Amino acid sequence: MPAILLSTLGWSAPDGTAVLAGLDFRFAPERIGLIGRNGVGKSNLLALIAGERTPTHGHVTIDGRIAVLRQNLEPAPGATIADLFDAREALAVIDRAEVGSATLDELDACDWTLPARIADALADVALSTDPATPLATLSGGQRTRAALAAALFTQPDFLLLDEPTNHLDAEGRDAVIALLARWRGGAIVVSHDRALLETMDAIAELTTLGIARYGGNWSAYAARKALELAAAHHDLDHAEKQASTLSRKTQQLTERKQRRDGAGKRDAAKGGMPRILMGQRKQQAEQSGGDAVRRAGQQQDEARQAIDAARARIEILEPIRIALPSANVAPGRIILTLDAVTAGHVPDRPILHDISLTISGPERVAITGANGSGKSTLLRLIAGDLSPMAGRVHRPVDCALLDQDVALLDPMRSIADNFARLHPGTTRNAVHSALARFRFRADLALQQVGTLSGGQRLRAGLACVLGGTAPPPLLLLDEPTNHLDLDSIAAIEQGLNAYDGALLVVSHDAAFLDAIGITRRIALPL
């Protein structure tokens, strides 16, 4: 039976930083979702399995054939869909055969079924295009789907997929999810897409402590994690009660020792007992009482450590909870009006045509549409970064745009410095208090933005935008869950649920849109 075996596998970055250490795991021919926080080494693990990186120690044993779908497909100049299938020459031979210019040897080697099989593979990912199509003319989502079709075309025993639904529109995303739901071979899928994870046979969670398997799909994993959170709360309650009991015990022992010491001094003052005997009894009493107090103190320390461990576990398992000032958006207040707007980046080729839209009050609106329909362009237009070619944009309130790169933050500055820049006059204590609500406590607030992971950067962006005394009445988000781990997505959802202003978000993540309470969806035409 095909299998992938990790044996004490470890890998360190070029600077010597240990990323993966001592991994022991067996991947069976099942669909397994690989999850974990950003930076824990998920993509590095796929690269080690694919043979693209060499382990620092340990080894990977593969029994079977693998195919890899990389996260970012950058096409070579002149590359076509046929190149993804390694079929350019074979298709060229068929073309020459059809016009009568092929050699006898070429005719003997012709695979006349190849064009139909490639077309079927592309149709499985909802693509209907000629294999000669240059990759450069396809959107990022279309290239991802074509690459997945090519990977499946080789009939591997294992698929290695790194965020396969990133940058896909709804049609492409649904096609990939449906395809993997039908797949009966092995698959290792790094993803934060909960709809995709629902199709998995098992979940593997990668942490700094190792890798653990959870049977079942995302819902089964989430239920198990909920039980772990409940257990952590129980452990905290037990540890706090034990600490309280030990505190009382230590106090009683201390008071008892003090009474004994006082009685001994009074007896010594009266005389009547030989001095040497008095000294022996005093030493014994002090040693006995002191040992009891020290034991109780040690037990108290252990109880406090148990409390700290339980609280740390809860903080890891429990979603972030945020309280924010009000954006003061009254129901019915006009936040945004687009009146017959036409816009784009190229003067004679607008991507948006005759778009009209009104947002009033604290509405939560999702913008959807196929790749290339102008969703990001629309947000830039609303934010004021782009002027309309025709029509009118009326936005009588302040807004903030958080794109995938969180460009409003200076990557060379710390989170705290960015907050202070965006909220002039805020005291240092107020800056750190606001950032702490988003779990950027103490030194974490001093991290340089450019060193943050994608999830940390977006959370920092939300903290800097929403953490002030007056959050903007309108918040614009462009594919906020791309490249985020599941813990980060949960934190972002909690932050947005605490925000009471108007929200306009571009996203194809249905679970995310449901979680943040979207009330209206608008689809842009292609």
Residue 364: inside a domain: yes
> Residue 34: enclosing H or E segment and its boundaries?
strand 31-35
What CATH number does the domain containing 82 carry?
3.40.50.300
Name the DSSP class of 349. Answer: B
Pairing outcome for strands 399-402 and 390-394: unpaired
Q: What is the enclosing helix (H) or strand (E) of 3?
A: strand 3-12
CA 281 to mean position of chain CA atoms: 66
Per-residue CA distances from 412 to 115, 220, 368, 405, 409 (Å): 51, 41, 33, 14, 9
The answer to whether residues 412 and 276 belong to one domain is no
Last residue of a domain, one of 222, 245, 263: 222
Measured in whole angstroms, the distance separating CA 361 from the mean position of its chain's CA atoms is 30
Assigned token pair, 132: 């000669």
Q: How far apart are CA 190 and CA 204, in angstroms?
A: 10
Q: Which amino acid is at 521?
A: R
Residues 258 and 363 occupy one common structural domain? no
Same domain, 186 and 264: no
Give the SS3 label for residue 525.
Answer: coil
Is 325 a domain residue? no
Residue 328 resides in a domain = no
- Does residue 89 belong to any structural domain of this protein? yes
Same domain, yes or no: 231 and 218: no
442 in the same domain as 343? yes
Domain coverage including residue 373: 334-524
Of 222, 247, 278, the domain-final residue: 222
d(CA 37, CA 120) in angstroms, rounded, equals 36
Does some domain include residue 441?
A: yes
Domain end residue (candidates: 291, 317, 343): 317
Regarding whether 232 and 218 lie in a shared domain, the answer is no
State whether 239 and 130 are in the same domain.
Answer: no
Pull the structure tokens for residue 270.
Answer: 């009266």
| Maximum separation of any 2 CA atoms in the chain, in Å | 129
Q: Is the dihedral of CA 244, 245, 246, 247 positive or negative?
A: positive
- Judge if 216 and 229 occupy the same domain: no
Structure pTM?
0.71
Q: How many residues does the chain have?
A: 526
3-state helix, strand, coil in the chain (%, to 5): 45, 20, 35
Give residue for tokens 């959807």.
368
For the chain, the domain total comes to 3
Q: What is the pLDDT of residue 73?
A: 66
Rounded Cα distance, 320 and 322, in Å = 6
pLDDT at 220: 95
**Per-position pLDDT tens, the chain of length 526:** 899 999 999 999 888 888 999 999 999 999 999 998 877 889 899 999 999 999 999 999 999 999 998 766 677 888 999 999 999 999 998 988 888 888 888 888 888 999 999 999 999 888 888 999 998 888 777 888 899 899 999 999 999 999 888 878 888 888 888 888 888 899 999 998 999 999 999 999 998 889 999 999 999 998 988 887 777 777 777 777 777 776 777 677 666 766 666 555 555 555 555 555 555 555 555 555 556 656 666 766 766 777 776 666 666 556 566 777 888 899 999 999 999 999 988 878 899 999 999 999 999 999 998 878 889 899 999 999 999 999 999 999 999 998 878 889 999 999 999 999 999 999 999 999 989 888 788 888 999 999 887 778 888 888 898 888 889 999 999 988 887 788 778 878 888 888 899 999 999 888 899 999 999 999 998 7
**Distance from C-alpha of 101 to C-alpha of 431, rounded to nearest angstrom:** 74
- pLDDT number for residue 46: 94
Together in a domain, 179 and 258 = no
218 shares its domain with 237: no
Q: Are residues 213 and 231 in the same domain?
A: no
Residue 225: predicted pLDDT: 82
Assess whether 229 and 218 both reside in one domain: no
